[in-house]
Structure 1
Amino acid sequence: MALVLLLLQIPAVAILLSRLLRGPTRHPPLQPQKPSPELLGKVSIVVPTLNEAERIGPCLASLSQQSYEVREVLVVDSRSQDGTPDLVKRAGQADPRFRLLTDDPLPPGWVGRPWALHTGFIESSEQSDWVLGVDADTYLNPGLVSSLVKTAIAEGYDILSLAPQFILKYPGELWLQPALLMTLVYRFGPAGETNNSVERVMANGQCFLSRRSVLAALGGYSSARNSFCDDVTLARHAAAQGAKVGFFDGSKLLKVRMYEGAAETWREWGRSLDLKDAAARGQIWGDLWLLAAVQGLPIPLTLILLSWISLGMGSLPVVAALSLNLGLLVMRIGLLWAIAPSYDLTQAKAAWLFWLSPLADPLAVLRIFLSSTQTSIQWRGRSYTQA
């Protein structure tokens, strides 16, 4: 049995190390930058909304703080029933760059978010060279848009998105959310990795910048119309067409309060973390094997192997398997320290639970497995069934 475990885990560990060891050469975190005259009016921002009244306020305020590089902010609402449009109209009274749009009824084959983004792209000014998609749960630090556009221009990126700093508050999410985030790190490496193949390209739709010309060539968001991870689907489609796509650390530029508590984190974030809409079936199952081998199994296997040794079953394969899994646990704790800057715990209750998040790893891997096999999805009052 110990030999079987070693055969299962050693190749996965080798793959993981090959990804993580590229971390020191990754692109450094982006810093806020001041705009310069050549950026005047070059960016259209699109914000898709559906019943976001409880959390869109900070986002609207932060968008108003962006400088003259922003030509317009198009908030595309999907007939919210909670007063979201009123908040947008109020923001528009203070900042004329805001414009409220209502998208048409959802066409067959489209998911709500990419449809709203597609509507915003179509309605945006052709005088803008860049289109920036922003989610309603985000807070943009001053200088974000300028930094993003200047980096894209200087380094030749056609699409550039940012990994945020996550705001965590409640005990359950403090324990679970970092373990779910780690599933992305294990599969795709850290944000800022610049050498991923097309099938390993990552993106984040919470802050997703694209050249307008590239979006036009791709048919807007139509290539991701039926995807629940439309950001990654669109980014990989663009990369396959020859676009240069980047995914950088934006923890100094962007904050996000995604979900309230562990239950919502499990239910809502888990719906898209598997990225099955953007990957071939073989890649999905390969990722599940890797996650099980290097993240899901080390804690239970360590306990089992220690019990075997205590019972006098300490053969060489058992000791080797135990050493391997203890090494994976040490690596996991080190990675927790590495991702700590990606979290804002200033509002957290029982912040110490963040440091116990490795104990949630088996649950996080289980969530990815369940999501990978799920076909019926509900989101914000809408029901979808994937073929």
Structure 2
Amino acid sequence: MSWAGAVPALVLAAVVAALTVHSHVNATRWLRRTPAQATVDEPVSVLLPLRDEADRLTPCLRSLLAQRGVPGLEIVVLDDGSTDGTADMVRTVAAGDPRLRLLTGAPPPPGWLGKPYACQQLAEAATAEASALVFVDADVVLNPYAVAGAVAALRTARATLLTPYPRIVTGSVGERLVQPLLQWTWLTFLPLRAMERSPRPSLAAAGGQFLVVDRAGYQRAGGHAAVRDRILEDIELARAVKRADGRIALADGSGLADCRMYGSWVELRDGYTKSLWASFGSPVGAASVVALLLLLYTVPPLLAVAAAVAGAVPLALAASVAYLLGVAGRLVSARASGGRRWPDVLAHPLSVALLGWLTLRSYHLRRRRRLFWRGRPVL
């Protein structure tokens, strides 16, 4: 077989190369950094929504109580209808610390999803003096200067909303395959500097695990009431901020916080299934994106093996280059976000294939109205 027959694979390799270069530029030039140690003199409210988190909230809560560099810090915790003793665990860990207030959440009204309503209640309960709000999930563990560093980064960026993306911690094989795709997708496909400068709401990204907002800008955007029925409330909040003429930004928060979002493959599967359908706009959009990802990142190694068996050396070489360029892009993402590198990056084609399956499952269960999370229906 001549090199002419390898042209399609060479085209794939060229596209993957361009995306890998883009991820490198994002990671080395445009991705904001957060200070490892900072001090802020403005009052800050840290807001922690909890629902059945008794088995894992202790490290998070202890890390919040150990925060430094924020003299005007308060911690507001909301127990959102837990049935596993979450509130009692909060009281035990807090041990009467006067900086912490524990609230009992009300059930979400019609038209509201659970987490947006919990966050709205927390924001309304924050002390009136707080000029910055920091939303944290129970699976996040912060270093002692994380809150100060996040608020300092928000002010340095002159942003209304900033996500200091935490380092993703993984345990099971499924987590190691899927979780790194969170950072990889926006580093590869999202032009970070353009996202910050553009007023377009569609050009937005955010992560609700650890998110800091200017309170006045948050209120102008309508708060979580503006995203009351959105399953991806973090991204939709970023879009609402843009609609209110605010600015958003992403930052590397891997030095500030760790986050293990799911404790097992089953939790991860169900967590992604509940929300992936909302990530693409429509089933057609989802099918198009998944097909493109599979073509760019999963097809090349399969093609390389098939071509090598058939003796088509040029095609096998071109497809192998495309595969290795994809691995290089995953490696860039891992280095930029503090994630695992070897041998996980070599399984990138399998990661993309698994994401495709999770997307299909999400749409399938949504169509059957069988999507639930934490005992509540998603739809």
State if a TM-score over 0.5 links the two structures: yes
Q: Deviations over 1:134-170 (max 9, x none)?
A: 0001001111111111122122111011211122223
Partner of 1:208: 211
8 Å contact from structure 2 (residues 13, 321) kept in 1 = no
Other-structure match for 2:29: 25
SS in 1 for 2:95: helix
In 1, Cα distance between the equivalents of 2:160 and 2:172?
Answer: 37
Change (3 A) 1:360 1:178: farther
Q: How far has the Cα of 1:357 moved from its partner?
A: 3.1
Q: Quick one: which amino acid aligns to residue 202 of structure 1? A: A
**CA–CA separation in structure 1 for the residues paired with 2:174 and 2:121:** 36
Q: Provide closer, same or farther for how the CA distance between residues 261 and 191 of structure 1 changes in structure 2, counting only shifts above 3 A.
A: farther
- Aligned 8 A contact 2:19 2:329 in 1: no
Q: Deviations over 1:82-133 (max 9, x none)?
A: 1110121223334211111122111122111111001111111121101111
Say if 1:55 and 1:137, in contact at 8 Å, map to a contact too: yes
Q: Secondary structure at the match of 2:212?
A: strand
Aligned twin of 2:230: 227
- Contact 2:81–2:107 at 8 Å: present in 1 too? no
Q: What is the aligned partner in structure 2 of residue 336 from structure 1?
A: 330
Preserved contact between residue 230 and residue 236 of structure 2 (Cα < 8 Å) = yes
Contact 1:44–1:124 under 8 Å retained in 2: yes
Distance change (3 Å), C-alpha of 1:190 and 1:167: farther
Among 128, 142, 145, the alignment partner of 1:143 is: 145
* Distance in 2 separating the partners of 1:198 and 1:139: 30
Could you tell me which amino acid in structure 1 is paired with residue 93 of structure 2?
A: A
Instruction: Tell me if the contact between 1:139 and 1:254 (Cα under 8 Å) persists in the aligned partners.
Output: yes
Q: Is 1:52 equivalent to 2:53 in the alignment?
A: yes
Q: 1:186 to 1:324 in 2, by over 3 A?
A: farther
Identical columns (%): 26
Separation in 2 of the partners of 1:101 and 1:202? 29
Residue number among 283, 291, 300 corresponding to 2:302 in the alignment: 300
Report the residue type matching 1:228 in the other structure: I
Selected match of 2:77 from 69, 75, 78? 75
Greater than 4 Å deviation, 4+ residue runs: 2-15, 189-197, 279-286
Partner of 1:364: 355
Residues 266, 304 of structure 1: alpha-carbon distance in 2 compared, 3 angstrom cutoff? farther
User: Aligned AA for 2:229?
Assistant: N
Partner of 2:344: 354
CA RMSD of aligned residues (A): 3.2
**Residues 325 and 117 from structure 1, CA distance in 2 versus in 1: closer, same or farther, beyond 3 angstroms?**
farther
CA distance in 2 between counterparts of 1:121 and 1:63 reads 17
Deviation at 1:27, TM superposition (A): 2.9
Paired letter, 1:330: L
Change (3 A) 1:239 1:378: same
* Residue 85 (structure 1) aligns with: 87
| SS in structure 2 of the partner of residue 253 of structure 1 | strand
- Distance in 2 (CA, whole Å) between partners of 1:220 and 1:63 is 23
Gap change, CA 1:202 and 1:323, over 3 Å in 2: farther
In the TM superposition, what are the counterparts of 1:302-317 in structure 2 within 5 Å? 302-307=304-309, 309-310=310-311
5+ residue gaps, structure 1: 346-350
Match of 1:259 among 255, 262, 273: 262
Listed one character per residue, the Cα deviations across residues 10-43 of structure 1 (whole Å, up to 9, x for unaligned) are 896487357425323123431322314x32xx21
Counterparts in 2 of 1:250 and 1:284: CA distance versus 1, 3 Å: same
Task: Provide the rounded CA distance (Å) in 2 between the counterparts of 1:301 and 1:326.
Answer: 8
For 2:345 and 2:14, locate their aligned partners in 1 and report how far apart those are by CA, in whole Å.
Answer: 28
Counting matched residue pairs gives 367
Number of the residue aligned with 2:120: 118
Report what 1:327 is aligned to.
321
8 Å Cα contact 1:49-1:76 kept in structure 2: yes
CA contact (8 A) 2:178 2:355 kept: yes
